[in-house]
């Protein structure tokens, strides 16, 4: 059993009377690709934001790479990163300028070399010197991934990593992420609404609904447990709370 790269215990986030994340506990083994799934409002994006320290939890514990993120997150932030198509970069700066700024913030020593490498691998070259604000949604998604990979993170958090990409580009990005994880040994936790993507990339799936974990397992195990043909059918059964198909208790990590 690999040691956990991410450990979460009784994590809760409240906004007044609204409970966005409700006493969630789970672990993600080092060197694996796992998914955090749920419908809109399930709490997955809030959970990811707390893992990175972008949001402070109301209560609970988070450890990443062995460090307490509530007290010592700056010890590990340089070894982590986040990619989300919903977090914009400065519109007036070009793609190259944006990536250069972040590369310097991350303390990279060979900035130009790293940017050229990622530009080739993620096919950014055609719009490297265009203002970020002029890009299509799919192009912005690829730039967001490039930014997240600049520091070659040991823990990579992905929120909809192939959002707005055409099928061919999305397929190549998934292959790239698999290759990156295998070559680097990184731990990847992703949130996605694309169930075929999750089946292809992930060995472990954490299912959330209304702020709580309701089930967990490999894609194949979940499909068998619910008697479904695909993970998408499992997702729908859980999201719609289809009676006997859903476990009646939260699943321990």
Q: What is the mean predicted confidence (pLDDT) over 67-74?
A: 94
What's the pLDDT tens digit per position in 6-55?
999 999 999 999 999 999 999 999 999 999 999 988 999 999 999 999 99
Query: 168: exposed, middle or buried (C-beta count within 10 Å: 0-12, 13-18, 19+)?
Result: exposed
222: Cβ contacts below 8 Å, ≥ 6 apart: 205, 207, 215, 231, 234
pLDDT at site 249: 37
Is residue 252 predicted with pLDDT exceeding 50? no
What's the pLDDT tens digit per position in 86-133?
889 999 999 999 999 999 999 999 999 999 999 999 999 999 999 999
Domains within the chain, CATH numbers bracketed? 4-87+153-245 (3.40.50.300)
H or E element, residue 239: helix 231-239
pLDDT band at residue 181 under the 50/70/90 scheme = very high
**C-alpha–C-alpha distance, residues 251 and 248, integer Å:** 9
Q: What is the mean predicted confidence (pLDDT) over 52-74?
A: 95
pLDDT band at residue 2 under the 50/70/90 scheme = low
pTM for the predicted model, two decimal places: 0.91
**What are 142's two structure tokens?**
């690829």
Angle between helices 137-149 and 167-184 (to 10 degrees): 10
**CA proximity to 122, closest of 143, 98, 140:** 143
H or E element, residue 44: helix 44-52
**What are 128's two structure tokens?**
């490297």
Is residue 1 predicted with pLDDT exceeding 70? no
Average pLDDT, the chain: 93
**CA proximity to 231, closest of 208, 200, 191, 188:** 200
């Amino acid at each position: 059993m690999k040691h956990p790269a991410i450990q979460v215990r009784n994590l809760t986030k409240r906004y007044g009377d609204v409970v966005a994340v409700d006493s969630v506990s789970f672990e993600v083994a080092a060197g694996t690709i796992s998914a955090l799934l749920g419908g809109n409002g399930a709490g997955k994006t809030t959970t990811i934001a707390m893992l990175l320290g972008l949001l402070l939890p109301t209560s609970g514990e988070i450890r990443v790479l062995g460090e307490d993120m509530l007290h010592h997150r700056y010890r590990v932030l340089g070894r982590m990163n986040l990619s989300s198509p919903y977090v914009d970069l400065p519109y007036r700066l070009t793609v190259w300028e944006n990536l250069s700024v972040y590369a310097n913030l991350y303390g990279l020593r060979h900035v130009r070399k790293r940017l050229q490498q990622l530009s080739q691998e993620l096919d950014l070259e055609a719009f490297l010197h265009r203002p970020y604000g002029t890009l299509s949604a799919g192009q912005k998604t690829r730039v967001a991934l490039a930014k997240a990979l600049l520091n070659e993170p040991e823990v990579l958090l992905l929120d909809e990593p192939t959002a707005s990409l055409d099928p061919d580009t999305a397929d190549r990005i998934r292959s790239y992420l698999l290759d990156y994880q295998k070559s680097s040994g990184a731990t990847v936790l992703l949130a996605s609404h694309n169930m075929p993507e999750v089946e292809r990339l992930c060995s472990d799936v954490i299912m959330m609904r209304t702020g709580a974990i309701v089930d967990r397992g490999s894609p194949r195990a979940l499909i068998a447990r619910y008697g479904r043909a695909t993970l998408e059918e499992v997702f729908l059964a859980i999201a719609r709370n289809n009676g006997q198909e859903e476990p009646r208790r939260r699943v321990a990590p």
